[in-house]
Structure 1
Amino acid sequence: MNFMAERAERADQTNTTILVVDDAAASRCALGAVLRRAGHRVVPVATAGEALSELDVRLRAGALPDVALVDVGLPDMSGFELCRRLKALPLMASLPVVHFSAASVAPSDRCRGLDAGGEAYLTVPAEPEEIQAVVRAAVRGARMRSGAENRAQDLTLLSETIVPVQTAHSPSALARAAAEGTARLTGGPAAVFVVGEGGAVYCGAHSGRKAERQPDAVAREAVARLVRRVTVTAAEDSVLDTVVPAPLWPPGIFHLRATEDVRMVVTRTRDARAAVCLTVPKPRYGDRAPGTAALVARLAQATAFAAQPLLMYQAERRVALTLQHSFLPKRLPELPGVDVVVRYEPASRETEIGGDFYAALRTGAGVLTAVGDVVGHSLDAATVMVEIRHALRAYCVEEPDPGALARRLDRMLQHYHPEITTTLCLALVDPVTGRTRIANAGHIPPLVVRDGVGAAYVPAAGPLLGLGLERPVPTEIVLEPADRLLMVTDGLIETRGTDLAVSMEQLRVSAEDAPLGTAGLCDSLLDRFGRDREDDIALLALRLTD
């Protein structure tokens, strides 16, 4: 070690507090004098009992000494036993103990001291330099152990906060998870903002025991402007830690006094198209540990890393929903002889993009209705849904028979999208006679609801489209004027952990008790089954008119 490094180490280890436990007053005085000359504070006690009492008081005050110098031959218990008791207490186990003795100087005595948990053993009298060196070594070792333990605790805490961030399923959930993590790291309230392209701002807030009030649109936009201003010249992958003066911070996000500033930790996603901002009240920042700032910076980077794919999904979802809404109009064209009502609900999960669709088309042989679901949740599923719907509209002009349509759509999928499969149910209804032909391709069969009688599924089944398998002959039924034909996608009733047959029976029973009419039937079933679903929902209900 060079002179400057040694000097720095010695300076770092002065102003330490040393507990001296010795029943001999002259010895306590001599040791105290040596240690005070070296810049240490000395707390002298005469017995093991006094030492335990002193340590208990200091532990409650959060100010344990840095080292304990313990005489082996104490009157109430040996120094070895005192050391064992201290090391057995979790909150005192890290206190380094140095045994000393003028009488017990055999190698076996040194071994007993080390076995009891002591860090070193001094034979007194000793030169002041040796005493000071042993104390410095004990302090250095304890601080190194404490530093390693603190770093391990920090890394454990950081990993615990990052896991929910990495598993968040949407930008909003990501912001909430990051706010929870920031609150854990800083020990105070926190709010997190994910600022995407096109003005999209997602936020989450937390304050430990109770959640902060979610920022309103004005507050979110104000924070977004601050973030854009901060990141406009930021280097790629940099983490910016800055303080926003109280007058510039939008009110209502934290319960702050008028003079309290806010600290912002901001970083951008790798594609630089979005930014993540972790915010905490400045007076309450970093009180938990010296490394808090570094931990929050790491959390910000992890949040930005997780935000990029979620925001890409969000953009993809917007495109898919635009496709779905443009090709699935809520108002259908006039269809003579039938009353048709449709309902469509996107998945509640923000990252889910489904391929559910419906259609009601006028043909030369009657009204053709269809409900289907392209397997998968992606923009590809939504685009294939559009292709199937267009193909269905084109094919039914020449041949409206459901069986023939199912075969042609099957071949179309095999030719253009061999990796895609689709469930589809087709029904061709003659409004005059009620004669209905149904072709089912792996879909939930239609449900016929007869007013005052009950509800039953049509026994129609067949393989999914896209597999090239032989298709059965369509099932034929006759609808009475009071009957309602209900067609749904599985997003309405499918629940993880519940057998689909059970869910279908629940749907059948609910349909029996639904209000009269097609609209009442669809709306009551959506209200009963359609809340917080992870998949898109499409319903179509048809009834003959007089």
Structure 2
Amino acid sequence: MSKGWQMDVNGKRTGVTVLLVDGTPAGRYAMGALLRRAGHRVVPVATGHEALAELDARQHGRTLPDVALVDVDLPDVSGFELCRTLKARPYTAGLPVVHYSAAAVGSYDRRRGLEAGGEAYLTVLAEPEEIDAVVRAAVRAARLRADDQAMARRLTLLSETIVTIQKARSLQELADAAANGTARLTGGPAAVFFLGPDGELYRGTSRDRTSLAPPDEGAHRTVAGLLRRLTRGQAGVQITTVPSPLWPAGFFRPGVQHDARLALILTQDGKASVCLATPTREARGPNPEEETLVARLAQATALAAEPLLMYQVERHVALTLQHSFLPRPHRLPELPGIDVVVRYVPASQQTEIGGDFYAALPTDDGGLVAVGDVVGHSLDAATLMVEIRHALRAYCVDESDPVVLVGRLDRMLRHYHPAITATVCLALIDPGTGRTRIANAGHIPPLVIRDTGTAEYAKAVGPLLGVGLPHPTPTELFLEAGDRLLMVTDGLIETRGTDLAASMEHLRVAAAGAQPGLDDLCDTLLDCFGHDREDDIALLALRLSSG
């Protein structure tokens, strides 16, 4: 809302729209003529009920009058009662009311008018210039109040949005939150873009955008190119307009071309660009106060993006480590007489990479398999996972007893990483007899799925690696032809707020009902449990070879 008065082509102030409420035709005529001569537009009504009906009719699609000029002596209600009704309704609460009376009034009447919520009190004995001045002053004060209230609401929205974006766990969440916040600040659709140091473009659009097909890859490449050019060498927030021929259609409203008003900023290290984009509104023009708030939001968004961008880099390094050092299924070492299938699924994009691992190693006494998990989620956890796997490979060259190997891993961890713990489960399988010896260090025990369709957990328990407690003798069992042994990390089934024992039971039932093959078993379990997990998932399934 403008704080000043609009001018006509001759530089004179233009009038306002006045709702004139007067119960007498002569009064409406006289006051209406006076207001029109002062340049105002007049909407005359005869009663308080007619005034309310007129305002109700304007609630849908028509603007309210700028001021109500109300005679205190109306035929149905008093002007004071009408004023109280207007101030009690959310839609008309901001409408300024000026009371007037044809009779001489004292301080009591003026006080009643102010107590009812009116802005001023006039008598028809007043000069026309005074009436005009009071009407304009009431409108001006109301507009100032409305502007202040709008700014307070926008500052509240800005604060709420900043809190929301600071909670974002991924760049996509951040982009969506910033787009919705920008839309709330500006009252229209919005899009937010992050251009990372690797050239990847992240985009979020506000919820009010019609859910049709988003712009294609060509449009995204165009935006990425614009961001590179516009932010090159930039310091601070830059506000600029990109005309519609250069700005792809569809980001604000599907299939619709708009000029785009951009708030651009680089992250502090200068490696990534942040852009808050809204469609321009030619009829209204730029709003400096609104753009100041959007600029502040752009700064807050850039600050929130920095740790998420750093995390993306760390996550990529951790994934590279895991992919480099965990053998691919087709490159697993061959275990004579044993078929082995493995699966590894990284955590969802919003979650840090952990230290889950698997191993399948030939020894002189049979095939040694392992599944483990370094406690924690970080690049350090992924690095330590690699160290434990290499240590296990080295130890099993001259030792195959699972309990001895667990003890050595425990000593290694305490010696080199005394503040870290890990879980691991080792199983040594003799393919000729099916004899299986299991040592478990704080891990979910292996699940034995018998050829008969039953499934039970091996009774193998033991303390975590890294705590220095003695480990019990191995748990021994025998696998028959067709039996399968399943080893998993807790990322497959562990859910915050759910008892692990209940999740293990769900896993047991699902495994018992899976199809006979090893691949079918792993795929069934991933379909049942492996979506949007907060932790990495490692699975290893084996059985004695049929040939």
Match of 1:377 in 2: 377
Match of 2:429 in 1: 429
**Which of 303, 314, 317 pairs up with 1:316?**
314
Amino acid at match of 1:120: A
Q: Distance in 2 between matches of 1:394 and 1:419?
A: 23
Is the CA contact 2:249–2:256 (under 8 Å) kept in the aligned structure 1? no
- Summarize the Cα distance change of 1:372–1:185 in structure 2 as closer, same or farther, 3 Å threshold: same
Is the CA contact 1:511–1:521 (under 8 Å) kept in the aligned structure 2? yes
Match of 1:173 in 2: 173
- Please identify, of 470-479 and 51-60, the stretch whose mean Cα deviation from structure 2 is larger: 51-60
Amino acid at match of 1:214: P
- Summarize the Cα distance change of 1:316–1:146 in structure 2 as closer, same or farther, 3 Å threshold: same
- Please identify, of 262-271 and 46-55, the stretch whose mean Cα deviation from structure 2 is larger: 46-55
Give the match's secondary structure for 1:63.
Answer: coil
Match of 1:402 in 2: 402
- Summarize the Cα distance change of 1:229–1:441 in structure 2 as closer, same or farther, 3 Å threshold: same
Using the size of structure 2 for normalisation, the TM-score is: 0.88
Match of 1:239 in 2: 238
Match of 1:389 in 2: 389
Match of 1:117 in 2: 117
Q: Distance in 2 between matches of 1:40 and 1:256?
A: 42
Amino acid at match of 2:542: L
Q: 1:297: Cα distance to partner?
A: 3.4
Match of 1:344 in 2: 344
- Please identify, of 129-138 and 376-385, the stretch whose mean Cα deviation from structure 2 is larger: 129-138
Is the CA contact 1:203–1:215 (under 8 Å) kept in the aligned structure 2? no
Q: How does 1:487-506 map to 2 (within 5 A)?
A: 487-506=487-506
Q: Distance in 2 between matches of 1:286 and 1:138?
A: 24
Q: 1:163: Cα distance to partner?
A: 4.7
Q: 1:94: Cα distance to partner?
A: 1.2
1:463 aligns with 2:463: yes
- Summarize the Cα distance change of 1:427–1:177 in structure 2 as closer, same or farther, 3 Å threshold: same
1:270 aligns with 2:268: yes
TM-superposition CA deviations, 1:223-250 (whole Å, max 9, x none) = 1111000000321x3133321341x334
Q: Distance in 2 between matches of 1:282 and 1:125?
A: 49
Q: 1:444: Cα distance to partner?
A: 0.5
Give the match's secondary structure for 1:432.
Answer: coil
Match of 2:99 in 1: 99
- Summarize the Cα distance change of 1:117–1:494 in structure 2 as closer, same or farther, 3 Å threshold: same
Match of 1:533 in 2: 533
Question: Sequence identity, in percent?
Answer: 65
Q: 1:258: Cα distance to partner?
A: 8.3
Q: 1:348: Cα distance to partner?
A: 2.2
Give the match's secondary structure for 1:199.
Answer: coil
Is the CA contact 2:353–2:378 (under 8 Å) kept in the aligned structure 1? yes
Q: Distance in 2 between matches of 1:399 and 1:256?
A: 66
Q: 1:169: Cα distance to partner?
A: 2.1
Give the match's secondary structure for 2:534.
Answer: coil
Q: Distance in 1 between matches of 2:375 and 2:12?
A: 66
Q: Distance in 2 between matches of 1:54 and 1:453?
A: 78
Q: 1:291: Cα distance to partner?
A: 5.2
Using the size of structure 1 for normalisation, the TM-score is: 0.88
Match of 1:368 in 2: 368
Is the CA contact 2:215–2:249 (under 8 Å) kept in the aligned structure 1? no
Q: How does 1:195-206 map to 2 (within 5 A)?
A: 195-206=195-206
- Please identify, of 316-325 and 366-375, the stretch whose mean Cα deviation from structure 2 is larger: 366-375
TM-superposition CA deviations, 1:278-326 (whole Å, max 9, x none) = 3344458979988554444344333322221111111111000000001
Give the match's secondary structure for 1:460.
Answer: coil
Q: 1:39: Cα distance to partner?
A: 4.8
Q: Distance in 2 between matches of 1:285 and 1:340?
A: 69
Amino acid at match of 1:407: G
Match of 1:326 in 2: 324
Is the CA contact 1:243–1:282 (under 8 Å) kept in the aligned structure 2? no
Q: Distance in 2 between matches of 1:130 and 1:413?
A: 90
Q: How does 1:154-303 map to 2 (within 5 A)?
A: 154-206=154-206, 208=208, 210-235=210-235, 237-246=236-245, 248-250=246-248, 253=251, 260-282=258-280, 292-303=290-301
- Please identify, of 454-463 and 107-116, the stretch whose mean Cα deviation from structure 2 is larger: 107-116
Match of 1:80 in 2: 80
- Please identify, of 394-403 and 38-47, the stretch whose mean Cα deviation from structure 2 is larger: 38-47
Match of 1:145 in 2: 145
TM-superposition CA deviations, 1:130-184 (whole Å, max 9, x none) = 4445334422331222112212332344445445433332222333333444444
Q: Distance in 1 between matches of 2:99 and 2:168?
A: 54
Q: 1:382: Cα distance to partner?
A: 0.6
Amino acid at match of 2:21: V
Amino acid at match of 2:465: L
Q: Distance in 2 between matches of 1:482 and 1:409?
A: 32
Q: Distance in 1 between matches of 2:33 and 2:67?
A: 16
Q: Mind listing any 5+ residue stretches in structure 2 that lack a counterpart?
A: none
- Summarize the Cα distance change of 1:453–1:222 in structure 2 as closer, same or farther, 3 Å threshold: same
Is the CA contact 1:195–1:201 (under 8 Å) kept in the aligned structure 2? yes
Amino acid at match of 1:344: Y
- Summarize the Cα distance change of 1:118–1:294 in structure 2 as closer, same or farther, 3 Å threshold: same
Q: Distance in 1 between matches of 2:283 and 2:332?
A: 58
User: How many equivalent residue pairs?
Assistant: 539
TM-superposition CA deviations, 1:101-136 (whole Å, max 9, x none) = 353523322222222221222345234554445334
Q: Distance in 2 between matches of 1:38 and 1:166?
A: 53
Is the CA contact 1:491–1:536 (under 8 Å) kept in the aligned structure 2? yes
- Summarize the Cα distance change of 1:259–1:205 in structure 2 as closer, same or farther, 3 Å threshold: closer
Is the CA contact 1:194–1:276 (under 8 Å) kept in the aligned structure 2? yes
RMSD of aligned alpha carbons = 3.2
Q: 1:206: Cα distance to partner?
A: 4.9
- Please identify, of 260-269 and 311-320, the stretch whose mean Cα deviation from structure 2 is larger: 260-269
Q: Mind listing any 5+ residue stretches in structure 1 that lack a counterpart?
A: none
Give the match's secondary structure for 1:439.
Answer: strand
Q: Distance in 1 between matches of 2:207 and 2:519?
A: 45
Q: Distance in 1 between matches of 2:283 and 2:541?
A: 58
Amino acid at match of 1:241: T
Match of 2:413 in 1: 413
TM-superposition CA deviations, 1:263-292 (whole Å, max 9, x none) = 333222222211122334445897998855
Q: 1:16: Cα distance to partner?
A: 2.5
Match of 1:18 in 2: 18
Match of 2:523 in 1: 523
Amino acid at match of 2:270: A
Is the CA contact 2:374–2:422 (under 8 Å) kept in the aligned structure 1? yes
Q: Distance in 2 between matches of 1:432 and 1:284?
A: 82
TM-superposition CA deviations, 1:67-96 (whole Å, max 9, x none) = 222222233332112212222222112111
- Summarize the Cα distance change of 1:469–1:159 in structure 2 as closer, same or farther, 3 Å threshold: same
Q: 1:399: Cα distance to partner?
A: 3.1
